[in-house]
Structure 1
Amino acid sequence: MNGNINQHKAKVKQPQHKKPPHNNHSKNTNPNTNKPRTNNNTGKKPNRNSGGGGRRPKKFVPGPMSEAMKTSLAENVAMNDARMNPWKQINMDNNNKVRFTPLGGLGEIGGNMAVMEDDECAFVIDVGMSFPDETMHGVDI
Structure 2
Amino acid sequence: MHVTKHASRRLQQRGVPGPRLERHIEFADRVVPVGDGSVCLTVSREGLAELVAAGVNRQELERLRRLAVVIAADGAVRTVMHLQPAAVVGTAVLARGAVPVPVAPIAPVLASSAAVRKDLRHEQRHP
The normalised TM-score by structure 1 is 0.16
Higher helix fraction: Structure 1 or Structure 2? 2
Q: Specify the structure having the higher radius of gyration (Cα).
A: 1
Q: Which has the higher strand share?
A: 2
Q: With CA pairs under 8 Å and 6+ residues apart, which has the higher RCO, 1 or 2?
A: 2
Q: What TM-score does the superposition give when structure 2 sets the normalisation length?
A: 0.17
